Amino acid sequence: MKPSFTQFRQRLVAREPLLGTFVKLPTTQAIEIFGVVGFDFVVIDQEHAPLDRAQVDLMAFAGRASNVAPIVRVGDAGDAAVLSALDCGASGIMFPHVTSVEKAKSIAASCRYIGGKRGFASMSRAGSWGARGIVDHMKAQDAEVACIAMIEDIDAVSLTAEIAAVDGIDAIFIGRGDLTASFGDDPHASAKVAEAARTIAEATRAAGKTLMILATSTADAETFRGHGASGVLVSSDHNFLKTAAAAAYRDYGVKTDNARM
């Protein structure tokens, strides 16, 4: 039987193998399907998708109801945005573009009550609508909420060890997409990103923190598992839809010289 979504952070920190995917469509059904299939977590992507607080609220509910941990990748790392996602019941926050130790300390604090700066609320989904006492609620949330920092800027690569070592940072996610984009049209970009990814992986492992990646293939996933990655994401809801639709079009579509695929 799959562990409860409330154990996500515990499993993440213990570096258990975890599989997730990105969710960008403003629906609950895709998340329910991922839960039925057996995914451990989904990343609700506010950074790159049109998802407001009301939609995140419903999507976090769907994750919890389907026993798949809802992680929110915030577009804005401000305290208010983090607080909103956590009160909606997110099991963790993924922070893009963490480029300094100071920012790492700030985001870690925004995820924690005790010793942190998370605004208190217990009449929320995260607080079981007031069912727990104040201290019990704070302790439970501090134990269950994961804080994930993304390293995806060239200047941040050399700081990975220091960022990963910050108390409260539970995992480091290698953002190879933005790293690749930062090299522009450099013909050696692929090799440079691969080297940067290895540097990030080594620094994360040395700091004793969990490494996460978005795998581009099963071989890519195995390569990074060899580098210590235990949290692996694959694809996204809209890419799964596109892939299945394209396969159906190839298999069932009328074959013409002007076929689109």
pLDDT of residue 256: 66
Mean pLDDT (whole number) for 152-168: 97
Rounded mean pLDDT, 228-237: 98
Per-residue pLDDT tens for 88-105?
999 999 999 999 999 999
pLDDT greater than 80 at residue 257: no
Contacts of 18 (CB under 8 A, 6+ apart): 8, 11, 12, 40, 41, 230, 231, 232
Residue recorded with tokens 């790159």: 48
Mean pLDDT of the chain: 95
Question: Is the C-alpha dihedral spanning 161, 146, 180, 208 positive or negative?
Answer: positive
13 pLDDT higher than 90: yes
Q: What pLDDT was estimated at residue 255?
A: 73
Give phi and psi for 157, each to the nearest 5. Answer: -60, -45
| Max Cα distance, the chain (Å) | 68
CATH architecture assignment, domain 5-246: Alpha-Beta Barrel (3.20)
**Which residue among the candidates 48, 97, 188, 227 is catalytic per the annotation?**
48
In this prediction the pTM is 0.95
48 belongs to the catalytic site: yes
Q: With residue 19 as reference, give the H or E element that holds it.
A: strand 18-23
